[in-house]
Structure 1
Amino acid sequence: MQTVLKKYQLELKHTFSISRESRDFQDTLIVCLSLNGKTGYGEATSNPYYNITVDSMINEIRAIENRIAGFDLISPEAFHGFLVREGLSNFSICALDLAANDLYGKLHGKPLYEIWGYSTAKYPITNYTIGIATIEKMVEKMEEKPWPLYKIKLGTNHDVAIVKALRKHTDATFRVDANCAWTPEETIENSYKLKELGVEFIEQPLKADNREGMKKVMAESALPVIADESCIVESDVEKCKDHFHGVNIKLTKCGGLTPARRMIEKAKSLDLKVMVGCMTESTVGISAIAQLLPQLDYVDMDGAMLLKSDIATGVIIRDNGKVIFPKEPGSGVVLTA
């Protein structure tokens, strides 16, 4: 397989703020894998929280480029195993795994969801994320993008007041994501107030290692709690049982579609709700997530919707949340920039 690596800086429509950072641009790596006249595309974004840069991913991939060239793509699963044995970071593995899956589907002339035996007759709609800002700015973002389901980023000293203010402007369902910013007591107290304000669930309220605190929250919260930073890799899914009601799986964190599918199966076997989230990827990464939709209870795949301009075509998300799956096989991605 021939490997081509492309660096992009994606400009966001608005400054995006969560409890620990703010940004106006998102650096991302696109991996192109080509074989027999077909090209598959994969993506992984940089992430300071996990000490991942685009250059660090490029260096990892360049180091094994010759071995990738000689790899026989029998299956994406076999390729993923090869990448794990090579010791790459999960972010680099994700970009390569997504590209290999897309390429595999294109070589076989079928979309991935069809290869996996998933029906697209029913799937959850994505939320649209509202980052931390002034209440006026958050309202402006909602008015700019009317949507039936919003994820509200929290982690301030007036979180309930924010949700109360936003509720005056929409009847949409809310989800809230504290990104590890709350204490157990704060989470429990907030949960009762947020439930009255039409909030569906709370995502990652406590720091990832506060397992005892999550036990208390799990027992006393008025709302379901979903793991994000506490559920990174496959082995974390079982650890979330009895601490969370569900898990949010990120392809970049776990290493791509291949381990994500195993995580979904494991979570379902433990009666955990299953969500897949994004990292402000372009349509390259979002189209990969879309292949998993029929298996999910919740999804956060609004990354490309938050960009000023995209770099690819693939899955299309309509204003009512309906997903238009691409006609191209694989993940259906075509790079346009």
Structure 2
Amino acid sequence: MEISLKKYVLELEHTFSISRESHDFQDSLVVGLSLNGKTGYGEATANPYYKITVDSMMKEIKAIETEINNYNLEKPEDFHAFLKEKGLSNFAICALDLACHDLYGKLLGKPLYKIWGTTPENYPITNYTIGIDTVDKMVAKMIEKPWPLYKVKLGTDNDIEIVKQLRKNTDAIFRIDANNAWTPEQTLEFAPQLKELGVEFLEQPLPADNLAGYKEIVDTCVLPIIADESCIVEEDVDKCAGHFTGINIKLTKCGGLTPALRMIKRARELNLKVMVGCMTESSVGISAIAQLTPQLDYVDMDGAMLLKHDIAKGIEILEDGKLVFPTLGGSGVTLL
């Protein structure tokens, strides 16, 4: 295989804020893997919370570039195992793993969902994310982007009031992501009010390490509770059973599609709901997530929708949330 690496600085349509940070640009690494006239693409974004930069990922990958170029591709799962043995970070592995899956599908001339034995007849609609801001700006963002399903980032001193104001302007379903900002007591107090306001579930309301708190509230909370920061890698799925209603898998955090598929399978065995989320990727990363949608209960793959300018073509998300899957094999990605 022949490898290529390129750094992109993705400009966001609006400043994006959660309870711990804000940003207007997103650094992203796109990896290309080429073989027999086909090129597969994968992506991983930088993340200050996990101390990951594009430069750090490129340094990791360049250290084994010769070995990757000489690698004899048979199955993406074997390539993933090879990368794990080399000790790369999950973010770097994700970019390579996504590129390998895209390449593998293109070589076979089949989309990944078909290779995995699924069909895109039924899939969940992605939410559109509204970051923390003044209430007026949050309302304005929502009005600017009419959508049937919004994820609302909270973690302020007036969270309930924010949702009340948003509700006055739409009848869409809400999901709430508090990004570790609440206590168990606040969660149980807020949940009935939020349910009345049309909220579907709560994502990571308590700090990630407060598993005792989650165990205390999961069975009494009137809304489902989905793990995000508490479910990063494959080993975390079992830990979430009995503490959460479901899990949110991030490809960049777990290391790509290969472990994500195993996490989905294990979550089903444990009777956990399954969601896959994004990290403000371009259509390179979002198109990989889309291939998983027939296996999911929920999906958050609005990353490319939040950008001023996309860098790739792949999955197309229509105004009603319906998906148009690319005709190319793999994830169906082409760079613009």
1:115 corresponds to which residue?
A: 115
Q: Which one-letter code corresponds to 1:213 in the other structure?
A: G
Alignment partners' CA distance in 1, 2:161 and 2:237: 33
1:22 corresponds to which residue?
A: 22
2:279 corresponds to which residue?
A: 279
Q: Which one-letter code corresponds to 2:40 in the other structure?
A: G
2:68 corresponds to which residue?
A: 68
TM-score, normalisation: structure 1: 0.99
Note the C-alpha offset of 1:110. Answer: 0.6
Alignment partners' CA distance in 2, 1:247 and 1:96: 24
Q: Which deviations, in whole Å up to 9, do the C-alpha atoms of 1:256-296 show, x marking residues without a partner? A: 00000000000011110000000000000000000000000
Q: Which one-letter code corresponds to 1:121 in the other structure?
A: E
Alignment partners' CA distance in 1, 2:13 and 2:328: 28
SS in 2 for 1:234: coil
Matched, 1:150 2:142: no
Alignment partners' CA distance in 1, 2:181 and 2:48: 17
Q: Which one-letter code corresponds to 2:135 in the other structure?
A: I
Q: Unaligned 5+ residue runs, structure 2?
A: none
Note the C-alpha offset of 1:134. Answer: 0.6
Q: Which one-letter code corresponds to 2:41 in the other structure?
A: Y
Q: Which one-letter code corresponds to 1:137 in the other structure?
A: K
Note the C-alpha offset of 1:89. Answer: 0.2
TM-score, normalisation: structure 2: 1.00
Q: Which deviations, in whole Å up to 9, do the C-alpha atoms of 1:94-150 show, x marking residues without a partner? A: 000000000000111111111111111110000000000011101111111100000
Matched, 1:197 2:197: yes
Q: Which one-letter code corresponds to 1:63 in the other structure?
A: A
Note the C-alpha offset of 1:220. Answer: 2.1
Note the C-alpha offset of 1:219. Answer: 2.5
Q: Which one-letter code corresponds to 1:68 in the other structure?
A: I
1:239 corresponds to which residue?
A: 239
1:261 corresponds to which residue?
A: 261
Q: Which one-letter code corresponds to 1:172 in the other structure?
A: A
Alignment partners' CA distance in 2, 1:187 and 1:89: 33
Alignment partners' CA distance in 2, 1:206 and 1:54: 29
1:53 corresponds to which residue?
A: 53
2:220 corresponds to which residue?
A: 220
Q: Which one-letter code corresponds to 1:102 in the other structure?
A: D
Alignment partners' CA distance in 1, 2:219 and 2:311: 44
Q: Unaligned 5+ residue runs, structure 1?
A: none
Note the C-alpha offset of 1:216. Answer: 1.3
2:35 corresponds to which residue?
A: 35
Note the C-alpha offset of 1:222. Answer: 1.2
Q: State the 4+ residue runs in structure 1 displaced beyond 6 angstroms.
A: none
Q: Which deviations, in whole Å up to 9, do the C-alpha atoms of 1:201-251 show, x marking residues without a partner? A: 000001110011111121321110000000000000010001000000000
Taking only aligned residues, the RMSD between alpha carbons, in angstroms, comes to 0.5
1:172 corresponds to which residue?
A: 172
1:316 corresponds to which residue?
A: 316
2:230 corresponds to which residue?
A: 230
SS in 2 for 1:16: strand
Matched pairs, number: 336
SS in 1 for 2:235: helix
Alignment partners' CA distance in 2, 1:287 and 1:143: 26
